[in-house]
Structures are given as C-alpha cells and as structure tokens.
Amino acid sequence: MANPLNPARRKHKLVKAWMHEHVNDPYVQEAQRRGYRSRAAFKLIELADRDRLLRPGMTVVDLGAAPGSWSQVLRERVGPGGRIVAVDVLPMDPIAGVAFVQTDFRTDEGLAAVEQALAGAPVDLVVSDMAPNLSGIDPVDQARSVGLADLALAFAGEHLQPGGDFAVKVFQGSGLAEFEGSMRERFDKVYLRKPKASRDRSREVFLVGKGYSGG
C-alpha cells in the first residue's frame, strides 16, 4: 500500500492538478488564441482599461518583462509612435517595436543601459510585474516582494515625468500598507487592484499610482 505521506507522490498529484487547471484556464486559452506569451497579459489589460494607463505615443518602461506578454500589450496599445523599453535579468524573445535590455537595473551599468535605450525620452508610465523566486516561506517571500516593489518605485521616481503613472505587483501581507503609503507620497491617486485574471488563491495585488508628483 502506497504511503499517503510520500512526498514524491504528493508532489506528483500537485503538479497534475496544476496542469489540469492550467490547460482548462480560460485566460490561458484566450492568451493562446490571441498570441500572448502568458495569461498575465490580461492583468495589464484590465489595469490599463480601468485606470486609463495607456494611450498612443507613450513612452513606457516594463520592468521584469520576460516572457513578454505585458510588452505585447504595450506594443498594441501605444502604437508605432510610442517607445517601449522592456527590462529583465532573464532572456526574452524579441518583440517587434520593443527595445529589450537584458540587465539588472539595480546596478550602475544596468541603469545606464536602460537609460541609453530610452534615449532621453520622458517616461510616461512604468509598469512592474516582477515577483521573487518563491521559497515557500511566507515572511521571506513577502519581504522579497515588497523589496522588488520598492526597487520599481525608486526607478519610477527617478524616471517618470510629472503626471506620469506607475503600476506594480506586490503580495498582500506585511509591508504592503507601508509601501502603499510611500506611493501616496509620490502620486496624486493610488488604487489597490486585484484583476480578475489573478487567481483567487494568489496573494498578488497591484498598486496603481496616477499623477506622479515627485517626493
């Protein structure tokens, strides 16, 4: 008789359940139909529609861009007159009309590479779908999530033009309220959003800052 506590068996069952959910996920199916690289595209679409984040001709920086579904949406919405700079430490397959910089923007060299790609263009919007590599230890993962959001906010603070917007992913839990307070010091309006495409069990939420005012 199989041991019900067998870790390998339990992991197999979890993977099988995840695959079944993934294959039958309507957002996964729609992403495949529309050619998006992941279902995450629909999170940005909902945020953009609800908070009027995108318009033709914008300059946008996409932090943590790989595999590229957010950059695909940005390319569709800002049009050929816009500029999109996608940034990630991981590789990303090319997207027509998107300048991809594979770098760590926390370093001086990485930041210089991103700024070179911007070529002096004022930034209208910074978006970040960055997430930590999950350890399974909630306090650790939470701290890492807020840390990445802080980095994205610092980048936005250095590069957004007055009136610009910011959208960032962060996990619910310790540090979220303090981070939201930091955003409220810099933006005229701040909204907490949970897109429908974000799975119910996920602790991820998105904060949207409208109208960068400095600080």
Whether residue 175 has pLDDT greater than 60:
yes
pLDDT score at 137: 80
User: In the structure, what pLDDT confidence band is assigned to residue 8 with cuts at 50, 70 and 90?
Assistant: low
Q: Is position 13 annotated as part of the catalytic site?
A: no
Amino acid at 84: I
The helix/strand/coil state of 29 is helix
Residue among 197, 193, 199 at smallest CA distance from 52: 193
Pairing of strands 187-193, 123-128: unpaired
CA distance 102 to 74: 18
Active-site annotation holder among 16, 43, 169, 194:
169
Average pLDDT of span 182-198: 96
> What residue has token string 């914008």?
58
Average pLDDT of span 54-64: 98
Average pLDDT of span 68-82: 97
Lowest mean pLDDT among 2-6, 30-34, 39-43, 102-106: 2-6
Whether residue 144 has pLDDT greater than 60:
yes
Report the mean per-residue pLDDT for the chain: 90
User: In the structure, what pLDDT confidence band is assigned to residue 20 with cuts at 50, 70 and 90?
Assistant: very low
User: In the structure, what pLDDT confidence band is assigned to residue 133 with cuts at 50, 70 and 90?
Assistant: confident
What dihedral angle (degrees, nearest 10) is formed by the CA atoms of 212, 45, 142, 5?
180
User: In the structure, what pLDDT confidence band is assigned to residue 7 with cuts at 50, 70 and 90?
Assistant: low
Average pLDDT of span 156-181: 96
Whether residue 129 has pLDDT greater than 90:
yes
CA distance 204 to 173: 10
List C-alpha distances in Å: 133 to 56, 136, 171.
Answer: 34, 9, 13
CA distance 57 to 45: 17
Average pLDDT of span 80-91: 97
What tens digit of pLDDT does each residue of 163-173 get?
999 999 999 98
CA distance 153 to 111: 14
CA distance 64 to 87: 6
pLDDT score at 215: 66
pLDDT score at 17: 41
Average pLDDT of span 132-139: 80
Pairing of strands 204-212, 160-171: antiparallel
Whether residue 10 has pLDDT greater than 80:
no
Token pair of 1 as six digits:
């008789």
